[in-house]
Amino acid sequence: MKVEIYRTVIFVLLPQIRAVDIEVSTADNRKYVKLSTHCIVAAGRSFYTFQVKAKNDAHIALMSEDDDARPLYEIVIGGWGNKKSCIRTDVRCTLQAFNNTRIVENYTDCVGTTTYECDSGYFLHSGNLQRTCFSNRTWSGEPPYCKQISCPQISSTVSYAIQHQDTDIGGNVTAVCSDNFRHSSGHLTRECTSNGSWDGEEPVCLRCRCPCSLIGQQGFNSSSELEQRLKQLKRELEIAKNSTSSFYRKRNCALDNRLSSASLGYLCGYGVIISIAVYLVIPDLSILYRHFRFGAD
């Protein structure tokens, strides 16, 4: 049987057969220093006497071969931050990796704790992010299951309908007001944020009292967008005054405010009207006279 140690310790081996002390200093790197290189083996001996000088966590392993992956016995002095010491068999759990997670701390020794963390854009849906290795080489808790963060589905309502919806982070949802409804407040376009919620406010579409205009049917996220659209429509519907008939009349006809001109205009106007009336009435005067004198029959 071979003897090995690791952690920052000063190892003093006191063989009972040879009156020679051997001092070994190790690094704090969680790796065993094989004492077989110093011609120290446990084969044929019933015990060894040794001393350890360290602040904490001195580990001495008794192995059957120069391979710490093989079964071994380990003496732990001042382990777990000087909380306890023990003699144990080599117990290590198999390190497990899971989708959408990363390992933060990896301690697969007995009572060691391995810590996981969900990848960016994922959250712990079930299981445990910290798991402890038991003496029977099993892990405590349940495997962590990290699920992608997404925003909740938004359903259409009577007042508005969902045209497009992407619930992943950075995705958008777009709504339009239903027929005979107009956009009153809120946002018709919203983005899924990193915390799994939609930005902005839920759109509010109110029923129209009168038939909604084309403007009322369109969606605007702010009053500034609506004002910009109104200005655009005003430019499109603006009347070219220089091309109207009234503009050409004013341009081709001059106004005459003289009294003689106004009198002549009235005389001509009324004269034409009276002439037309007389022309229509005179042929029927004889018939009217007979009706009034002798009756309709």
pLDDT at 12: 41
Are residues 123 and 176 both part of a single domain? no
Are residues 42 and 80 both part of a single domain? yes
pLDDT at 215: 46
Chosen domain end from 40, 60, 89: 89
Residue 36 domain flag: yes
Are residues 15 and 73 both part of a single domain? yes
pLDDT at 210: 67
Range with lowest mean pLDDT among 40-44, 131-135, 206-210, 255-259: 255-259
Residue 252 domain flag: no
Range with lowest mean pLDDT among 92-101, 140-149, 225-234, 262-271: 262-271
Does residue 231 surpass a pLDDT of 60? yes
Are residues 9 and 85 both part of a single domain? yes
Q: Round to whole Å and give the CA distance between 174 and 198.
A: 11
Q: Is the dihedral of CA 62, 65, 66, 67 positive or negative?
A: negative
Q: Which residue has the higher pLDDT, 94 or 48?
A: 94
Are residues 220 and 264 both part of a single domain? no
Does residue 217 surpass a pLDDT of 60? no
Are residues 166 and 128 both part of a single domain? no
Does residue 59 surpass a pLDDT of 90? no
pLDDT at 223: 64
pLDDT at 118: 94
Are residues 212 and 273 both part of a single domain? no
Are residues 29 and 85 both part of a single domain? yes
Task: Give per-residue pLDDT as tens, 234-273.
Answer: 877 777 777 777 666 666 665 666 666 667 667 777 777 8
Q: Which stretches within the chain are classed as H helix? A: 79-82, 214-217, 223-237, 245-252, 259-281, 285-294
Domain range enclosing 186: 160-226
Beta-strand runs (E) in 79-209: 84-89, 101-105, 113-118, 122-126, 130-132, 145-148, 160-165, 172-177, 181-185, 189-191, 204-207
Does residue 150 surpass a pLDDT of 50? yes
pLDDT at 256: 60
Residue 76 domain flag: yes
Does residue 163 surpass a pLDDT of 50? yes
pLDDT at 251: 63
Residue 165 domain flag: yes
Mean pLDDT along residues 36-45 = 74
- 94 band by pLDDT with thresholds 50, 70 and 90: confident
DSSP 114: E
Residue 194 domain flag: yes
Are residues 117 and 175 both part of a single domain? no
Residue 191 domain flag: yes
Task: Find out whether 109 and 74 touch, Cβ atoms under 8 Å.
Answer: no
Q: Domain tally for the chain?
A: 4
Residue 189 domain flag: yes
Q: Round to whole Å and give the CA distance between 13 and 2.
A: 13
pLDDT at 76: 86
pLDDT at 146: 94
CATH code of the domain in which 132 resides: 2.10.70.10
Burial (CB count within 10 angstroms: exposed 0-12, middle 13-18, buried 19+), residue 92? middle
Are residues 74 and 107 both part of a single domain? no
Averaged pLDDT score across all residues of the chain: 78
Are residues 186 and 138 both part of a single domain? no
pTM: 0.43
Mean pLDDT along residues 110-117 = 90
Does residue 11 surpass a pLDDT of 50? no
pLDDT at 1: 37
Residue 244 domain flag: no
Task: Give per-residue pLDDT as tens, 184-216.
Answer: 999 999 999 988 899 999 999 999 886 555 444
